[in-house]
């Protein structure tokens, strides 16, 4: 009708004004952004299961390593062994108290993946430090220092579990979180049951070195799985802004975690560019084939 025509002319649709559906998509939370595929749950749980299994392997073998740090003539089950074991566990607990909140906060700035990779690297270094002196030829005093350093690294590498729960919170809605946390609890139970049992069997047959080697292999496999897959759950749009303090920016920029995040970002950008180039090539090939087919159909027959 003329009235409808005048109404349509009075309210033209501008190319720069988004429609209602576009506005809804623009206001969509980054957690539901369709341009970024959410990591599958096995990609998050498999490295965590390997890490938990490697940690639980150390439960039976770690007390037997204390004998290598005792001076000659000191009984293996005396008061000195008990005091050393208590000291090492206390060091790890204190570092857990102070470093876990820091690691979680740093992951809010740079993402979950670089911080998790950093923790797995520290876990590998911890296993190297507690290699028995029968393989390294270290003196008891040197091995004592290695045990203390390993507990320091162990307390700094426990952020893997904290970041796992943070990653689940990133990719899941509130209603699905209890189910996911229940599955994580199942992974905990299986790893902490099979790990000590496997370590006890290996300890009786092959000694401490075999257990440490298996633990190192599991940690390395977890590191490779986490690094080789798209397991970043905190998108750049949802990360916290960098601190305004110059001191905090300096410490964050020169931290190994930040540098690792830059490497991961570069690799991810390269992979996305390669995928985009492949998609454009396939689209161009399909357009060429379609154009040739249409030309062949419209060509006049003699």
Nearest to 62 by CA among 157, 3, 5, 127: 127
Q: How far apart are CA 51 and CA 158, in angstroms?
A: 10
Per-residue pLDDT tens for 34-91?
444 567 778 888 888 999 999 999 999 988 888 888 776 666 667 778 888 888 989 9
Q: How far apart are CA 85 and CA 93, in angstroms?
A: 12
DSSP 174: T
Nearest to 65 by CA among 151, 169, 1: 151
Residue 28 has pLDDT above 50, yes or no: no
Q: Report pLDDT for 221.
A: 95
Residue 231 has pLDDT above 80, yes or no: no
SS3 content of the chain, % helix, strand, coil (to 5): 80, 0, 20
pLDDT grade, residue 1 (50/70/90)? very low
Q: Which two tokens stand for residue 136?
A: 């390294």
Contact 164, 119 (CB under 8 A): no
pLDDT grade, residue 14 (50/70/90)? very low
Higher pLDDT, 249 or 105: 105
Per-residue pLDDT tens for 144-171?
899 999 999 988 888 888 888 888 888 8
Going from the C-alpha of 49 to that of each of 46, 161, 182, 184, 188, the distances in angstroms are: 5, 10, 14, 9, 7
Q: How far apart are CA 184 and CA 10, in angstroms?
A: 58
pLDDT grade, residue 33 (50/70/90)? very low
Higher pLDDT, 237 or 159: 159
**Can you list the domains of the chain with their CATH numbers?**
40-232 (1.20.1250.20)
pLDDT grade, residue 228 (50/70/90)? confident
Nearest to 112 by CA among 220, 256, 257: 257
The runs of H, that is alpha helices, within 20-78 are 20-26, 41-65
Please report the DSSP string for 205-241 in residue order: HT-HHHHHHHHHHHHHHHHHHHHHS----S-GGGSPP
* Mean local confidence (pLDDT), 15-24: 42
pTM of the model: 0.67
Higher pLDDT, 279 or 181: 181
Residue 255 has pLDDT above 70, yes or no: no
Q: Which two tokens stand for residue 268?
A: 């991810």
Name all contacts of 202-206 with Cβ < 8 Å and 24+ positions apart.
203/60, 203/61, 203/64
Q: Which two tokens stand for residue 272?
A: 């996305």
């Amino acid at each position: 009708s003329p009235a409808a025509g005048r109404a349509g002319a009075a309210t033209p649709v501008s190319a720069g004004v988004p429609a209602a559906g576009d506005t809804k998509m623009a206001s969509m939370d980054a957690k539901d952004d369709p341009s970024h595929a959410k990591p599958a749950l096995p990609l998050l749980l498999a490295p965590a299961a390997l890490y938990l299994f490697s940690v639980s392997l150390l439960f039976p073998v770690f007390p037997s390593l204390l004998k290598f740090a005792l001076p000659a003539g000191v009984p293996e089950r005396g008061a000195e062994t008990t005091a050393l074991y208590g000291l090492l566990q206390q060091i790890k607990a204190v570092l857990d108290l102070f470093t876990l909140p820091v690691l979680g906060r740093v992951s809010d700035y740079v993402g979950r993946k670089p911080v998790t990779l950093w923790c797995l690297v520290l876990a590998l270094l911890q296993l190297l430090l507690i290699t028995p002196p029968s393989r390294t030829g270290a003196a008891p005093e040197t091995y004592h220092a290695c045990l203390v350093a390993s507990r320091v690294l162990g307390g700094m590498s426990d952020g893997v579990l904290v970041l796992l729960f943070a990653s689940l919170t990133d990719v899941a809605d509130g209603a699905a979180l209890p189910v996911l946390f229940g599955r994580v609890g199942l992974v905990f139970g299986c790893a902490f049951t099979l790990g000590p049992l496997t370590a006890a069997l290996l300890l009786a047959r092959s000694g401490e070195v075999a257990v440490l080697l298996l633990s190192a292999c599991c940690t390395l496999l977890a590191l490779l799985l986490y690094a080789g897959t798209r397991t970043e759950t905190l998108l750049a749009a949802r990360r916290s802004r960098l601190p305004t303090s110059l001191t905090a920016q300096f410490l964050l920029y020169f931290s190994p975690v930040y540098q690792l995040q830059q490497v991961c970002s570069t690799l991810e950008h390269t992979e996305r560019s390669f995928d985009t180039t492949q998609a454009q090539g396939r689209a161009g090939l399909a357009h060429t084939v379609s154009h040739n087919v249409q030309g062949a159909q419209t060509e006049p027959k003699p």
